[in-house]
Amino acid sequence: MKRNDPCWCGSGIKYKKCHLRFDEKIDSMKFIKNKNQARPPHKIINNAADIEGIKRAAVINDGALDIVGGLIKAGVSTLEINDVVHNYIVSHGGHPSCLHYENFPKSICISINDVVCHGIPSKKEILREGDILNVDITTDLDGYFADASRMFSVGKISDEAARLIRVTKEIMEVGILAAQPWHFVGDIGAACGKMAHENGYSVVTDLGGHGVGKEFHLDPFVSHDCAAETGMLLVPGMVLTVEPMINAGEKNVFTDPNDKWTVRTSDGSLSAQWEKTILITETGNEVLAS
């Protein structure tokens, strides 16, 4: 690309005044040639307009998660929660991204107790006293995506469950803290894994976080238990999710062979997950959706 060409990021600004120095900095980081490290492709770097679009989607997504708390009580079906969230997102001009994504049949994921992720809402699945659940919502607004999940509990829960929820949130926050510009995606997983193991928990490694923004799922894959200084270089303009899935027992999981979506712990132990969408900035990161 020539210096006076419009920048590849789509900003409309000349390359020399936009991402030329950015590219030169990455070119100068010769250690990226290590086989365990990767350079981020231009397609996942967001310009200012892209970031504003993601933020607008995040406002709706956060609002949808905010209303979920008032719906959680014994006797409520997970389909009821799904329908309220669906109507909220649509009424605010968005689209619930999970709906029909690779044939997923509902608008959000609700994962209870030993379900790690991708639980399908159902009128037959009724919340009970003592349950813990993750509600995962992604909103598409005008072609921009925001993704986040939170843990909820039904009535009085066990001390074991309460600790798992609390520590999992702390693990996510440690991972976000490790997501720094000009460092690597592996630093996120190294921080999350270390804290999880120190607390006696295991980390699901078959699934992880991902890039998000102009598509529902983009590079990079974000492991939550891996070696530091590995994976893709984190640079300003990247948007990704940090969403550790933490099990009270072993890390092994399986996918329900009937619905081909619901992921459960192999040993039946409790699982918890928190998720935020973050933007890598020049000085650190910014939470966009939570």
Give DSSP secondary structure letters for 254-289: EE-TTTS--EEETT---EEE-BEEEEE-SSSEEEEE
pLDDT value at 32 more than 80: no
**CA–CA distance, 192 with 178 (Å, rounded to integer):** 9
Question: What's the pLDDT band for 34 if we cut at 50, 70, 90?
Answer: confident
3-state secondary structure at position 239? strand
- Local structure of 201: helix, strand or coil: coil
Give residue-wise pLDDT tens across range 45-59: 999 999 999 999 999
Percent of the chain residues topping a pLDDT of 70: 99
Nearest to 85 by CA among 65, 101, 57: 65
Q: At residue 33, does pLDDT exceed 90?
A: no
CATH fold group of domain 45-289:
Creatine Amidinohydrolase (3.90.230)
The span from the CA of 286 to the CA of 59, in Å, is 14
Per-position DSSP letters for 113-154, written without gaps between them:
TTEEE-PPP-TT-B--TT-EEEEEEEEEETTEEEEEEEEEE-
Whether 111 shows a pLDDT value over 80: the answer reads yes
Average pLDDT of every residue of the chain? 96
pLDDT at site 282: 94
Residues in the chain, overall count = 290
Confidence (pTM): 0.95
Per-residue pLDDT reduced to its tens digit, 260-290:
999 999 999 999 999 999 999 999 999 999 9
Q: Residue 38 and residue 236: Cα distance in Å, rounded?
A: 15
Identity of the residue numbered 158: S
Q: What is the pLDDT of residue 31?
A: 63
Residue 171 pLDDT exceeds 90: yes
User: Could you read off the pLDDT of 128-153 as tens digits, one per residue?
Assistant: 999 999 999 999 999 999 999 999 99
Q: Is 96 helix (H, G, I), strand (E, B) or coil?
A: strand
Domain positions in the chain: 45-289
